[in-house]
Structure formats: C-alpha cells, structure tokens
Amino acid sequence: MTTDETATMQDMAPRAAFVEGMRLAAGIPAIVLASSYLGFGVLARESGLGLGQSIASTATGWALPGQIALVELYAVGASWFAIAIAVALTNARLLPMTVTLMPYLRHPGTPRWKYYLAAHYVAVTGWANTMQRAPHMTTRGRLPFFFGIVAVLWTSTLVTTAIGYQLPDLLPSSVTIGLVFLNPIYFMLIFAADARARARALALVFGAILGPLLHLVSPDWGLLATGLIAGSAAFWLDETLRKTSPA
C-alpha cells in the first residue's frame, strides 16, 4: 500500500470502510473465489448432492477444502457422522486464522454477537485481505471493512455454486478441478506480493521446499507437516534475526 492509501484508510469512517471492503472484494478476489465455487457446484452435482444441499453447504460451511471433503465422502456413501468429523478436521485450519484476526477487529462498545458473526465468515480470501489492511486502519473501521469484504464474497459464491450446479455437461472434469484450485493459488500470490514481511517470505520459501519432499514421505500427512514445520521454522528464524540484529 502507498502512503496516500494508508492515510486514507486511517481516516475512514465505519460506513466508508464497509464500502471500501466491498469495493476491494468486487475485483479479483470475487472473480477468483466465484470461479472456484463454479467448479464446486459442478462437483456437488456429480457427487449426488441436491441443489439446495449444495447451496446450503456454501452458506454454512463456506470453505472449499471442507466442502470438497463433504461431497467426496457423500459420493462414496460415508455416514453423516464421518462426514461431519472429516469436515470439522479439514476446517480446523480456520481456527488459527480466527485467533489471529479477532484482536484486529476488536473495538470498544462493539456488541459481542458481531464478533461471533464475523468468526463464521473467516475464510482464506477475506482473512488474507483484512490482515494486510487492518493494521493501517483505525479500530472502528476494521470490522465494517471485513464485513464489506465477506458480504461480496459470500454472496458471489452462493450464486456461482447454483450456476455451476446447472453446468456439469459444459465443463470437463479437468476444468472443474482447475477452477477449484484457483483460490489457493490466489491466496499464495497475495502473500507473495507482501513478501516484504520477513516471516511471511520465510514461511513461503520453507513451505515451497518442504512441501514436495514431505508429500513423497507421506501423502496423507505431508501437507500438515509442511505447514507445521515451515511455519514454526519461519517464526523461529524471524524472531532470532530480530533479536540478533542491531537496534
């Protein structure tokens, strides 16, 4: 962000912050996420889910990895209990995101229910964009800004889930899978563009190196191990360099 953009966001009132969040989300973030959910709509229909069930999974779950786990397990006839456990475990990654985001969104006098509502909408795209910009805003504008982002993103994914559900014969399976993976690629690019933060840059580098290697060791646990090791190593190295560097 430029100095002028930072100054503008610092002076932003809550209503203006909400509109700014909507404006930001209505560009590339909404296009990427909506495209991913277009692919999810196709997958949901091919897995045997009804249209209402597909839209409900987006409205309530709103996290592609968990939703993909849902449709894959449903397609093979897994029990609802097994599906619920798998989705819960898949979406456990959202807990650290929520824990890191909520302190930025707090503002004196805000009703507690708004924080619970915000927690429901914590997902990769909204979290990443808010974490980038919230530190440059006054506390009164941060929560409205986040709600502005997720209002556009959530609505667009509901619509494109329904559209994708109607288009299974028009999209080859390879295209469908590619659309689903647009969002994690976009997420990576967001932080690659913000690599001036040393800890983030280190985490990206360590993850890129360890990911393929650990996947060869254990396809089932390689991704989890990569996140744990790469993130911890990046944090430790960043803290070590910070303490040893001259003031």
Residue 193, H or E segment: helix 182-193
pLDDT value of position 63: 86
pLDDT value of position 45: 87
Decide: helix, strand or coil at residue 136: helix
Q: What is the pLDDT along the chain (247 residues), one digit of tens a residue?
A: 555 455 455 667 888 999 999 999 998 888 888 888 888 888 888 888 899 999 999 999 888 888 888 888 888 888 888 888 888 888 888 888 899 999 999 999 999 999 999 999 998 888 888 988 888 888 899 999 999 999 999 999 999 999 988 876 666 666 666 666 666 666 666 665 555 667 777 887 888 899 889 888 888 788 778 888 988 898 899 888 888 876 5
77 φ/ψ sector (left φ>0, alpha ψ -120 to 50, else beta):
left
In 3D, which of 121, 169, 175 has the Cα closest to residue 143?
121
As a whole number of angstroms, the distance between CA 122 and CA 147 comes to 10
- Give the largest CA-CA distance in the chain: 62
Per the CB < 8 A criterion, the answer to whether 66 and 91 are in contact is yes
Torsion of CA 119, 121, 122, 123, to 10 degrees: 160
Q: Count Cα atoms within 13 angstroms, Cβ side, for 120.
A: 11
Q: What is the DSSP letter of 241?
A: H
128 burial level (CB within 10 Å; 0-12, 13-18, 19+) = buried
DSSP track, 51-115: HHHHHHHHHHT--HHHHHHHHHHHHTT--HHHHHHHHHHHGGGHHHHHHHHHHHH--TT--HHHH
Altogether, the residues listed in the chain come to a count of 247
Per the CB < 8 A criterion, the answer to whether 64 and 55 are in contact is no
Quick count: other Cβ atoms within 10 Å of Cβ 31?
13
